[in-house]
Amino acid sequence: MAEFVNLEQTDGIGVIRLDRPPMNALSTRVQEELREAALAADEDDDIRAVIVYGGEKVFAAGADIKEMSGMGYPEMSTRAPRLSSAFDAVARIGKPVIAAITGYALGGGCELALACDIRICADDAKLGQPEIKLGIIPGAGGTQRLPRLIGPSRAKELIFTGRMIDAQEALRIGLVDDVVPAAEVFESAKAFAGVFADGAPRALRAAKQAVDTGLELELPAGLAWESQLFAGLFATHDAHEGMTAFAEKRKPGFSGR
């Protein structure tokens, strides 16, 4: 039974909700529950889009420092891959994933947001990778996903200094995609996720696979990967339905087949 991370589904939208007051510290237990929720969201055919949300006050302020401070190299050498893979489980959800960021998204919290596809941020939120101030570095994707998102120079500056940035700077450098009043963050994420509630699940999954995997390939290999995914969709009922509906000038009824 999950204690700190819950998955709820309404009208085709899944919400992965972190609930570990006061700051949603990402302890080992939270990480494992996050992995389980991500896998469940990926497997649930009734879920067409996912929101990751920490509540009205805070997204996630980072790792559980008290827990980590008691670990030495032997413990962390086995724990670190599981930490990274927990966040990777979120990144691998084959559906659009939206981070609804309130309050703080620092350290592991920022890395969790980076594992999402889209980030909608409160106007008073603070983001950053402050691990360097503890004598360590980001260990759950920050050194890898952040430079891919905002470029290596900006990412190095944030990681090297460990400074927090506000929502407007995060928007300007491309770390977040939209900034809204704090009280509207969840509803804005929900409205965006709702766009996909009637979408074509197999096409959305293929689109995400094409972009995410393609970024790791040389362009010719990426183009070949795209072609393979594109052609594969012609074996689906949804592709036939979508093109037939277009020809008949009606709204398609996608079933995920």
Angle between helix axes 237-247 and 201-214 (nearest 10 degrees) is 110
Give me the active site residues, please. 111, 131
What pLDDT is recorded for position 1? 64
Please state, as a whole number, how many other Cβ atoms lie within 10 Å of the Cβ of residue 160.
Answer: 11
Which residues of the chain, if any, have pLDDT below 70?
1
What pLDDT is recorded for position 67? 82
Q: Domain 201-247 carries which CATH code?
A: 1.10.12.10
How far is 26 from 33, CA to CA, in rounded Å?
10
pLDDT per residue over 105-143, tens digit each? 999 999 999 999 999 999 999 999 999 999 999 999 999
How far is 48 from 98, CA to CA, in rounded Å?
12
What are the domain boundaries of the chain?
5-194, 201-247
What pTM does this model have?
Answer: 0.93
Fold type of domain 5-194: 2-enoyl-CoA Hydratase; Chain A, domain 1 (3.90.226)
Q: Which residue has the tokens 């997204």?
A: 59
Please report, in angstroms and rounded to a whole number, the separation of the first and last CA atoms in the chain: 32
